[in-house]
Homo-oligomer: A and B are copies of this chain.
Amino acid sequence: MGLETEDLRQIDALVGHRIRLRKGEALYHAGDRFTALYAIRIGSLKTAVPAGEGREQVSGYHMLGDIIGLDGISTERHGCQAMALEDSDVCVLPFERIEEMARAVPPLQQNLHRLLSKEISRDQGVMLLLGTMRAGQRLAAFLISLAERYKQRGYSSTEYVLRMTREEIGSYLGLKLETVSRLFSRFQNEGLIRVQGREVKLLDPVALRQRVGQRA
């Protein structure tokens, strides 16, 4: 996901400019011409793929250090929309310049490949979640994955604030918002978490993790 500090310095060398986004503002839309990748420096974004008839599915939640836009390379057009979930700041990484530098700097080339491959692995994880897990397992997996990502970034791994609505979480997990809401309540009753609106505290991460692997 994120890159090492060493690599960040390399990245800095090819940064174009920065873009400020207000909450709810789109960085790009599905169908827009692809020219660059974007590194998140402040805030968080969701990506959503069009699902016909104006509907859409949330395909990812991205935070500090994440690099987005990778799916646009093949068609030269973005396949999804990226929207700020809060006021955010992203760096523009012109892709042509990335390719140039990747040719000259092998470690950067490797990082790029790893980045792309990691995204593939991430997507496979989501496919597994959507294809084989029950609703409760999905939400548990989601909460744990968030915890791990916050931890990596130096934040608390047991307490965080959701940036997405119940509906967006549901869309991401292939569930309806009512189901997500009910599961939050159930997890709270079972003493696994404490929820209040978007504030979440994981009271029993171990039990939560077990939930992911079991058939209930």
* A residues in contact (CB < 8 Å) with B: 49, 51-53, 55, 57, 59, 70-75, 79-80, 99, 102-104, 106, 109-110, 112-121, 123-124, 126-128, 130-132, 171-174, 213
24 pairs, A vs B, C-beta closer than 8 Å: A49-B128, A52-B213, A55-B132, A57-B127, A57-B128, A59-B127, A70-B116, A71-B120, A73-B113, A73-B114, A73-B117, A74-B117, A74-B118, A79-B124, A99-B109, A99-B110, A99-B113, A102-B103, A116-B120, A119-B120, A120-B123, A123-B127, A130-B130, A131-B174
CB-based contact B123/A124 at 8 Å: yes
B106→A106 contact, CB < 8 A: no
Which residue of A74, A106, A112 has the most chain B CB atoms within 10 A of its CB atom? A74
State in angstroms the CA–CA spacing of A25 and B56 once bound together. Answer: 39
The count of identical subunits is 2
Give the residues in chain B near A71, CB-CB below 8 Å.
Answer: 117, 120-121, 124
A166 CB to nearest chain B CB (Å): 16
Instruction: Say yes or no: B57 contacts A121, CB within 8 Å.
Output: no
User: Given contacts A99-B113, A120-B123, A127-B127, could you give 11 more A-B pairs where the C-beta distance is less than 8 Å?
Assistant: A49-B124, A51-B128, A57-B131, A70-B120, A71-B120, A74-B114, A99-B106, A123-B126, A130-B174, A131-B174, A132-B174
